[in-house]
Amino acid sequence: MLRTFAEAAAEYCAGVEKRVGQSLGKMLVLGVLAGAFIAFAGVAASIAGTVGGKLATAAVFPMGLAMVILGGSELFTGNCLFLLPVLGRKCRALDAARCWIAVYLANLVGAVAVALLVTGCGVLDGIAEAAIATAAGKASLPFGTAFLRGVLCNFLVCLAVWMAFCAKSAGGKVVSLYGPIFLFVLCGFEHCIANMYYIPAGIFLSGGSQVDWGGFFRNLVPVTLGNMVGGCGLGVILYYLYGEKGR
């Protein structure tokens, strides 16, 4: 079963009001978990890609967002949709910004920790060359290219979050989110939290010889900005259609 879109907008706004009011400690723990969930999906997607190519990578990666949503954790990119309740005056912009910053930093910790652990225990040894190439490719993207790929990526990620929220059952949520995430991975768009795993993994595997932390941050800044534009842009559209103005 699905909620009506107006119903979903109202319930989403009410839920965000509670989420931004969580203690900082809880927010950070939930953010670390989400970063780790996305990183685990990245590990599995990379391994699948060596066997089945890009289609296999795109088929596996959506499980990351499924774990985030069903596990109740906090993901920065999905939380860009908080602009919907901010515009509807159900949530203060300052509270949303506080949540974004805390969750972003916590996502970084979770994703980098998984990158360190999986490279340290040898899980990626068999695909090290491909993992390093992926990291180097992302780190070498021009600013404008990384930004635009970030915009397109998070428009789809937040669409997946919205579609999953409209579904009432766990199975319905997974099915709903799967398509947009599959598309963003297949198209090669850029997701800042996923890159918090992919690029550090390449750094750890290469010892910094083929990709370094400077390249990581040169990718992370434009992709993060693009993700914010894409996600917040969808929030504006949803507010216009189904928020108070659209009722």
Tens-place pLDDT, residues 91-149: 999 999 999 999 999 999 999 999 999 999 999 999 999 999 999 999 999 999 999 99
pLDDT at 247 over 90: no
Return the percentage of the chain with pLDDT > 90, whole number.
87
pLDDT at 1: 66
pLDDT at 234 over 80: yes
**What average pLDDT does range 61-86 have in this prediction?**
96
Which residue, chain included where needed, has tokens 């953010």? 31
pLDDT at 227 over 60: yes
CA separation, residue 79 to residues 11, 89, 98, 135, 235 (Å)? 15, 16, 12, 25, 10
CA separation, residue 78 to residues 56, 81, 179, 216 (Å)? 23, 6, 15, 21
Which residue, chain included where needed, has tokens 């907008």? 9
pLDDT at 243 over 90: no
pLDDT at 246: 46
**What average pLDDT does range 201-217 have in this prediction?**
95
**What average pLDDT does range 211-233 have in this prediction?**
97
β-strand partners of 2: 167
pLDDT at 18 over 70: yes
pLDDT at 226 over 70: yes
pLDDT at 138: 98
Q: Which residues contact 104 (CB under 8 A, 6 or more apart)?
A: 31, 76, 224
The string of pLDDT tens digits covering residues 25-72 is 999 999 999 999 999 999 999 999 998 999 999 999 999 999 999 999
**What average pLDDT does range 73-78 have in this prediction?**
97
pLDDT at 5: 85
**What average pLDDT does range 172-183 have in this prediction?**
96
The string of pLDDT tens digits covering residues 188-202 is 999 999 999 999 999
- Output the average pLDDT for the chain: 94
Q: Which residues of 53-66 are buried (b: 16+ CB within 10 A; e: fewer)?
A: eeebbbbbbbbbbb
**What average pLDDT does range 144-169 have in this prediction?**
96
Nearest to 12 by CA among 104, 86, 106, 65: 86
- Mutual angle of helices 24-60 and 170-187, in 10-degree steps: 70
Range ranked top by mean pLDDT from 9-13, 91-95, 154-158: 154-158
pTM of the predicted protein model: 0.95
